[in-house]
Amino acid sequence: MLLKGRTGLILGVANRRSLAWAAAKAVAGEGARLALTCRSERIEENVRELAHEIDHPLILRCDVTQDADLDRMAETLRRSFGALDFVIHAVAFADRDDLTGRFLDTTRAGYHLAQDVSAYSLTAVARRVAPLMVGRDGSIVTLTYLGGERVVQNYNVMGVAKAALDMSVRYLAADLGPEQIRVNAISAGPVRTLAASGIRGLSRLLSFHRAHAPLRRNTALEDIGNTALFLVSHLSRGVTGEVIHVDNGFHVLGLAGLDTES
């Protein structure tokens, strides 16, 4: 039981196909006590139904764009758990209209929304939970994507937000390292989740990855869950400031690595 006696917070569980839910199952299976957040009443119903599978975690309503919600979440965690050992941040959002066409046409409001939810929220959460993690070999993990490093068609403003998220991981790792809190990211290959359904051409993207990734398969939810488990456990206690790609090797390829005839 890698996480027996450890307590964690997971943000972003929406349904059974969520990357956050894959992480929740993996860490709960190793003994972690959990709190899960959800943004709305509708999603909370889904989360409460899933919660029966992982020993009834604490469930909190939290909109990461609202400081009052974040403050209330941190206070509830302090009262309920006393301390916190890890956080898995799996929150991202952009307007659907900004995930088609040209990035050039992104609106100011759309840019702000994507950055606020998908990038700044990690910093906002970390600032509030860090006092609960000091001296406990804490770990903060977020989820990113290759579209923050390279241009991916129709990813647009979300790619720019993920680039900001990736850099936030490095700065937070530097800031929190002296308090023995590690900060890392998992760059997941494309997975058919509720969040990914807003990306136009997802089926074609999945097929392309499956055909060209060195391991010739798509990323599985369990792949992400198991990597999250590694990053919040003592097995990765020397790892911080990293973006770990879990995409069956797709990120190593340049044009020369692709079969351009297919």
- Over residues 145-186, the pLDDT tens digits come to 999 999 988 899 999 999 999 999 999 999 999 999 999 999
Q: What is the CATH number of the domain that holds 104?
A: 3.40.50.720
- 250 part of a folded domain: no
The count of structural domains within the chain is 1
- 254 part of a folded domain: no
Q: Which residues of 171-194 are buried (b: 16+ CB within 10 A; e: fewer)?
A: ebbeebeeeebbbbbbbbbbbebe
- 255 part of a folded domain: no
Between 172 and 197, name the one with better pLDDT.
172
Mean pLDDT of the chain: 92
Mean pLDDT for the stretch of residues 194-217: 82
- 31 part of a folded domain: yes
Tell me which residue range forms the domain holding 46: 7-244
- 68 part of a folded domain: yes
- 259 part of a folded domain: no
- 103 part of a folded domain: yes
Q: How far is CA 189 from CA 106, 219, 246, 259, in A?
A: 24, 6, 6, 19
- 228 part of a folded domain: yes
pLDDT tens, residue by residue, 75-124: 999 999 999 999 999 999 999 999 988 999 999 999 999 999 999 999 99
Tell me the pLDDT band of 260, cut-offs 50, 70 and 90. very low
Q: Which amino acids are annotated catalytic?
A: 145, 155
